[in-house]
Amino acid sequence: MTLEGVPNDEYFRTFVQARHIYSMVAAGRAGWTGPWRALVDETMRVVIARAKRPDGFYVHRLDRDAAVLDARADLYDQAFVLFALGTAGGALGEKSFFDEAETLLDTIEANWSHPEGGFREGEIVDPSVRRQNPHMHLFEAFSALHEASGRKRFGDAAVAVAELCRTRLVDPVSGALLEYFGEDWTPASGDEGRIAEPGHCFEWAWLFERLARSGAPNAVAVSDAMTAFGRRHGIDAQRGVAINEVLTDGRVVNGKARLWPQTERLKVAVVRYHRTGSDEDLCEVADAWTGLRKYFLPEAQHLWRDKMNEDGSFIEELAPGSSLYHISCAIWEMCSLRTSEKALESAS
C-alpha cells in the first residue's frame, strides 16, 4: 500500500497471499470480530484453484484477476503455501487443506529432495548457492501443520529440518546461523559463508523454542546459542533496532535495519520469557517492542515503513504487504503475555 493507505494491485505474490491467510487467523484469535473466517476460506481456495500448476507446484505471482503472471515455482513460495494450508486447516477445521498439504509435500519430495539433505529451491534463485531461509519456513510450515492436524508425517518433517539446521547450518564456534552454502551444506567461500542475519538467528531460535516444548533434545541449546549471538552482535544500541547482516566475528556487513528482524527479536524474547522468567528476556520484550514501534507511521499506526537507514531515517517506498505476517505473529506472541501484564509494565 502507499503510505496514504491506497492499495497497489500491480501484482500478487503467492507467498504474500499465504501470509495474509495467517494474518487474518491471528487477528481472529486476538479478538477481531470481522469476517476473518470467510476471508481465510476464500483466499485459500483461490490460491489452490488459480495458483496451482498442473505438476502440483504453486506459481510465483498472480495478476489482479488471479490469472498467472509468473509461473515459476520456488521453494520459498511452496513453504508458505504449506504454512497457509496448516493455518487455515486448523482455524476452519478443514481436513481437505491438510490433504492438499500432503499432496504438495509429495510433489516437493519427489522433485526437489536433495541427496545432501533438505531440498533444491526450484526455478527462480541461483541453484549453485543453497540457502537456509526457505528451509526455515518449511520448519515453520511443518510445525503449524503438525500442531493443527496431529499428522505424524508433518511432525517428522519438522524435526528433520530442525536437525539439518542444528548439524549443518549453525556455525559451531560463534553459534550464529549461517546464510549461504554449497551443495553439501559446507559454508560458501569467503565472507559470503560467514554472513549471519540477526533476524534469522532470532526467527530460528523462536522455532526451536517452540520445538523444545515437545521435549526435543538440544532444542534449547540451539536457541540459546543463536539468541545470544543475535543479541550480542545484531542490535544497534543507538537506534535500538536489530540490523540486517553481520559476519560471524560480529563485524557489520549491512547496518540498515528492516522491519521484520524487529518482530523476530520480539517473538523469541516472548517465548524465552515464558520459559526462563528472566529479567533479561523480559527487558528484551520491552526493548524489541519499542524498536518495532519506530516503523509504524506516527499518524497512521496501521501502516509501516520497511527499511531504516543507518542514520535512523527511512527509505521512502510502498508499505509491503509481506510485513503484515511478521507484525501479526509478533503481536500474537505479545498477546500471550496478557497474564503477565504487571511484569511487562515494570520492564517498560
Beta bridge partners of 241: 236
pTM of the model: 0.96
What pLDDT does 341 receive?
57
Tell me how far CA of residue 262 lies from CA of 17, 101, 139, 230, 302, in angstroms.
22, 30, 20, 11, 16
The C-alpha atoms of residue 105 and residue 100 are separated, in whole angstroms, by 9
> Positive or negative CA dihedral for 295, 299, 303, 307?
negative
**pLDDT value of residue 219:** 97
* Residues 148, 149, 152, 154, CA torsion sign: negative
Contact 160, 141 (CB under 8 A): no
Look up residue 267 and give its three cell numbers.
517473538
Cβ proximity of 271 and 209 under 8 Å = yes
Residue type, position 303, single letter: L
Alpha carbon of 27 to those of 60, 77, 121, 222, 318: distances in Å?
26, 22, 31, 30, 23
The reported pLDDT for the residue numbered 249 is: 98
Going by C-alpha positions, the residue among 82, 103, 110 that lies closest to residue 21 is 82
**DSSP class of 336:** T
Q: Backbone dihedral region of 56: left (phi > 0), alpha (psi from -120 to 50 degrees) or beta?
A: left
Cell matching residue 178: 549461517
Q: Tell the burial category of 55 from Cβ atoms under 10 Å away from its Cβ (0-12, 13-18, 19+).
A: exposed
pLDDT in tens, the chain (348 residues): 999 999 999 999 999 999 999 999 999 999 999 999 999 999 999 999 999 999 999 999 999 999 999 999 999 999 999 999 999 999 999 999 999 999 999 999 999 999 999 999 999 999 999 999 999 999 999 999 999 999 999 999 999 999 999 999 999 999 999 999 999 999 999 999 999 999 999 999 999 999 999 999 999 999 999 999 999 999 999 999 999 999 999 999 999 999 999 999 999 999 999 999 999 999 999 999 999 999 999 999 899 999 999 999 999 999 999 999 999 999 999 999 985 555 556 555
- N-term to C-term CA, the chain: 32
Q: What are the grid coordinates assigned to 53, written together?
A: 500448476
Q: Which residue has the cell 521453494?
A: 75
CA 241, 242, 248: angle at the middle one, nearest 5?
A: 145
> Quick one: cell of 221?
541449546
